[in-house]
Chain A
């Protein structure tokens, strides 16, 4: 299959690559004011020769000899246009001027970084712009890219104020979250209320719900690819902000002007100080904060080489007096080398490190101990982009990651009643090769076909088990260090096609298979930092998803509005859940004995109507969907609604630029309540009311809806100094949305039972002050 496809690939390219008198124009597109490379800028040499810059700002167009109108444009930049006389291979590096610097009148904000491309086969992909992140009102004023993504169709929030997301029926761990290519294993802060991405340091955010390009792999339901700013290589810049719960500072500037730059960005919350304001002693002794740092440097090493070093460090702390402490955080580092071999061949080599850890400390009487767990990756990625000719652009490479998982070891002082418990580490090698070609078959029809071959090898040293249907360990096999326990090979085809009817509408279709070998085993109702990551074993099989997707795209009123409708059907194999009564914290090496395996399916339709330009911008999104699971041992083996199954999900986002000083914004969300398990009856055990359950997730939480309002006031601007105030009101009409529903004996009449609903956020105002100095 693979050989056939590769053969076909070579044949296809062979038919088109011997044309005569063709030359290539290539180059890098950057921002003139900052020197940042621009991702996804449109480069066109006439209507039939259009390309976009890659993730490092590089483009390459091969055209017959001739004269062309060369236009290079990107949102919030002034377009560059010139006449290109192509008589030989030419390099055109362009620095685009900021749009704001050239317009005298009110800047009409544009809500998205890039218009989606009607002609490109890529579908199921959304980008959000810094403006969206800046203007959409959020909880406690803490700007958050993921919260904005959750307002798009097919992407659902993991709950009230939560930065976790469910994409097209996938679970929260089925999103591949990349920060400068490094995997972020837990993208949340403060128990999920905020994400790890400091919006000040973020340059580009793309989320793929379907049609993931072959260079991405390892998670079932989505890819969230976040790229950090490179740092301004023209001028020093200091910006920062002070909000209700956090303060942040961002410093960037040239190391050698025009050639190299740095960026350092930091953020610290002071939620615990906020807690201290409370008179309630049950609150003010708790500790709760996080901080994070982003840093990046880049060097231009001559015309053809560029080096980037970037890193992230984040940490959360939660404490209850001396009794209990929980620390968790991610560390990532990426070293990248871009090399332009020639005007058609671009290469990137990355060395990536990622580490997620948590530590629990308990100090209760004689029970004194720590539990430590981490997952650490070393990753090498080599990728080539080959702009073969004006019909084919090829991308291929390989990726090799070594994972080490430490599942939660217990250490204690001698005086403690608790013994040390060192559990076996788990090792695995995650290899993949991939190739993909985008073939522009005609003016109307384009096809992307690719293949990813993944090989996941589980390595010793360690004990592996055979278990029976009841979860009992039958025998244990010991593997020596470096010995291969098992290798899972998976072929993942990635296909996408587009047909453009005219310059305002197109249809696209895609099929993608994804596999996942690292699984987050969560106990379903909500995720916590201590949920377990486990790798596939001889018993835990790779999760596999197959997704078919079909979409229709239309520009209305000359592109003032755009309408997207996408539908999908997805199947998932080897889904994992805990057995009833599983001991999640057990110190057992054989976690498999606590697990059940089954399958899932998800389907739905997503509508998005968007207005990108003008004083009023924003979008309306609506998702109609269904997500189910079937696991033998749960719900009598019948299909049941997944927790994240929400039939209807609506979001309306509006931003309005009133004048130079004021920008107003609002968003409203409505969704069907999550599927939950409620009791069918009750009985008494040990003199206590105990609830009787008959079906999994057979009920619904109450429907959720909420309106948030926001306003940004631009304060007086000086030459080197600008600042603004941002106001927001979360849950503006004070809807009491259910956070939990508990069943308990009535306080008033202990012989009765009642259902109590708890709502946690109602009318939450915030104000923050942001400044920029250059």
Chain B
């Protein structure tokens, strides 16, 4: 919502001057840090850990992959060792998460050890996916809308990912049920709304194939994505910039998320 307010300031002031330009900022850089993005889903083949390192701002965006790490994921009783099939990508085709179970991640890179825990929440059934329309800042947007019934009582956290014609949208959609506990939800994803520099042709339009993945996530992962969206996307309008609140111990960036995954597709009418 804060973003909405600031967006309006900028739009309104834009009547007077919209003087946006690229500038050269001298950034000092920092010692490299490991980045671990670890995921376990309730589907076979959904277990994947990406390990990379931070780069300086002026370098390109291609990640520096980290090979030769020892990556294990398990419950208290047993664990599996992940296999590095491509550089920096560690996988286990067999590991499939079970709702209600807590998993431990351990990553060893040279002498350093990183650990994390995550619990797979219960599945909340994704009932339907459809498109609604909304006028926003004078333009009509087609918004993917997901219907599901939030379970009463328990705290539930959700994350959605949107693919349009196979391309993933670079936006974060994370929600909790603080205000919607126990209700039927029709969550609208404001794809491309309030995003800078989205050209008209990039917006969702009639005939596009829209795929939405729905994840149920645990509280620390919700906090991770909430704080990532609010303070680490490079957008100077939101909260004071800071690293997202990670569930990884040992000083690495990133997260370890064990979540359920469902997906639906719709052709945009």
Binding site for B on A (CB under 8 A): 191, 271, 274-275, 278, 280-286, 288, 318, 320-321, 323-324, 326, 360, 364-367, 369, 410, 417-419, 421, 523-526, 528, 530, 578, 580-587, 643, 676-694, 696, 699, 702, 736, 738-745, 747, 750-764
Q: What are the residues of chain A within 8 A of B67 when measuring CB–CB?
A: none
| A690–B232 CA distance with the chains assembled, in angstroms | 6
Q: What are the residues of chain A within 8 A of B232 when measuring CB–CB?
A: 690-691, 693
Instruction: State which of B53, B134, B170, B234 has its C-beta within 8 Å of the C-beta of A691.
Output: B234
Q: Is B20 an interface residue (CB 8 A)?
A: yes
| A581–B241 CA distance with the chains assembled, in angstroms | 10
Residue of B nearest to A363 (CB): B134
| A584–B3 CA distance with the chains assembled, in angstroms | 13
Q: Known contacts A683-B55, A685-B35, A747-B197: does B234 contact A742 (CB below 8 Å)?
A: yes
| A588–B11 CA distance with the chains assembled, in angstroms | 32
Residue of B nearest to A694 (CB): B30
Q: Known pairs A693-B232, A760-B19; list 7 more (Cβ under 8 Å).
A: A288-B8, A530-B1, A680-B29, A684-B52, A691-B241, A693-B242, A699-B25
Q: Is there an interface contact between B60 and A752, defined as CB atoms closer than 8 Å?
A: yes
Q: Is there an interface contact between B230 and A581, defined as CB atoms closer than 8 Å?
A: yes
Q: Is there an interface contact between A417 and B183, defined as CB atoms closer than 8 Å?
A: yes
Q: What are the residues of chain A within 8 A of B233 when measuring CB–CB?
A: 688, 690-691
| A145–B205 CA distance with the chains assembled, in angstroms | 50
Residue of A nearest to B139 (CB): A282
Q: Is there an interface contact between A681 and B11, defined as CB atoms closer than 8 Å?
A: no
Q: What are the residues of chain A within 8 A of B5 when measuring CB–CB?
A: 191, 318, 326, 528, 530
Q: Is there an interface contact between B61 and A759, defined as CB atoms closer than 8 Å?
A: no
Residue of B nearest to A285 (CB): B138
| A543–B64 CA distance with the chains assembled, in angstroms | 46
Q: Is there an interface contact between A323 and B57, defined as CB atoms closer than 8 Å?
A: no
Q: What are the residues of chain A within 8 A of B236 when measuring CB–CB?
A: 525, 676, 740-743
Instruction: State which of A271, A320, A581 has its C-beta within 8 Å of the C-beta of B244.
Output: A581
Q: Is there an interface contact between B29 and A693, defined as CB atoms closer than 8 Å?
A: no
29 A-B residue pairs with Cβ-Cβ distance under 8 Å, sorted by A, are A191-B9, A365-B132, A365-B134, A366-B184, A417-B185, A524-B240, A525-B237, A578-B240, A580-B242, A580-B243, A581-B226, A584-B2, A587-B178, A678-B27, A682-B57, A683-B33, A683-B254, A685-B37, A688-B172, A691-B234, A692-B253, A740-B236, A741-B23, A742-B196, A752-B61, A753-B61, A755-B22, A756-B22, A763-B17
A-B contact count (CB 8 A): 276
Q: Is B227 an interface residue (CB 8 A)?
A: yes
Q: Known contacts A285-B138, A685-B37: does B20 contact A756 (CB below 8 Å)?
A: yes
Interface size on B, residues (CB 8 A): 90
Q: How far is the CB of B200 from chain A (nearest CB, A)?
A: 12
Q: Is there an interface contact between B227 and A581, defined as CB atoms closer than 8 Å?
A: yes
Q: How far is the CB of A65 from chain B (nearest CB, A)?
A: 66
Residue of B nearest to A531 (CB): B2
Residue of B nearest to A757 (CB): B23
| A122–B68 CA distance with the chains assembled, in angstroms | 71
| A251–B183 CA distance with the chains assembled, in angstroms | 54
Q: Known contacts A419-B183, A756-B20: does B234 contact A743 (CB below 8 Å)?
A: yes
Q: Is there an interface contact between B19 and A684, defined as CB atoms closer than 8 Å?
A: no
Q: Which 9 A-B pairs have the closest CB atoms?
A: A581-B227, A743-B234, A281-B138, A680-B30, A760-B13, A581-B245, A762-B17, A681-B54, A524-B240
| A745–B59 CA distance with the chains assembled, in angstroms | 12
Q: Is there an interface contact between B14 and A760, defined as CB atoms closer than 8 Å?
A: yes
Q: How far is the CB of B16 from chain A (nearest CB, A)?
A: 6
Q: What are the residues of chain A within 8 A of B143 when measuring CB–CB?
A: 365
Q: Is there an interface contact between B184 and A417, defined as CB atoms closer than 8 Å?
A: yes
Q: What are the residues of chain B within 8 A of A323 when measuring CB–CB?
A: 134-136
Q: What are the residues of chain B within 8 A of A583 when measuring CB–CB?
A: 226
Q: Is there an interface contact between A751 and B62, defined as CB atoms closer than 8 Å?
A: yes
Within 122-176 of B, Cβ neighbours of A (below 8 Å) are at 132, 134-139, 143, 145, 161, 168, 170, 172
Residue of A nearest to B255 (CB): A685
Q: Known contacts A283-B14, A685-B37: does B24 contact A755 (CB below 8 Å)?
A: yes
Q: How far is the CB of A645 from chain B (nearest CB, A)?
A: 14
Q: Is there an interface contact between A366 and B4, defined as CB atoms closer than 8 Å?
A: no
| A312–B193 CA distance with the chains assembled, in angstroms | 38
| A6–B10 CA distance with the chains assembled, in angstroms | 55
Q: Is there an interface contact between A696 and B240, defined as CB atoms closer than 8 Å?
A: yes
Q: How far is the CB of B32 from chain A (nearest CB, A)?
A: 8
Q: Is there an interface contact between B2 and A282, defined as CB atoms closer than 8 Å?
A: no
Q: Is B228 an interface residue (CB 8 A)?
A: yes
Q: Is there an interface contact between B234 and A679, defined as CB atoms closer than 8 Å?
A: yes
Q: Is B12 an interface residue (CB 8 A)?
A: yes
Q: How far is the CB of A115 from chain B (nearest CB, A)?
A: 39
Instruction: State which of B1, B21, B22, B52 has its C-beta within 8 Å of the C-beta of A585.
Output: B1
| A764–B12 CA distance with the chains assembled, in angstroms | 14
Q: How far is the CB of A214 from chain B (nearest CB, A)?
A: 36
Q: Is B239 an interface residue (CB 8 A)?
A: yes
| A763–B243 CA distance with the chains assembled, in angstroms | 38
Q: Is there an interface contact between B15 and A274, defined as CB atoms closer than 8 Å?
A: yes
Q: Is there an interface contact between B33 and A692, defined as CB atoms closer than 8 Å?
A: yes
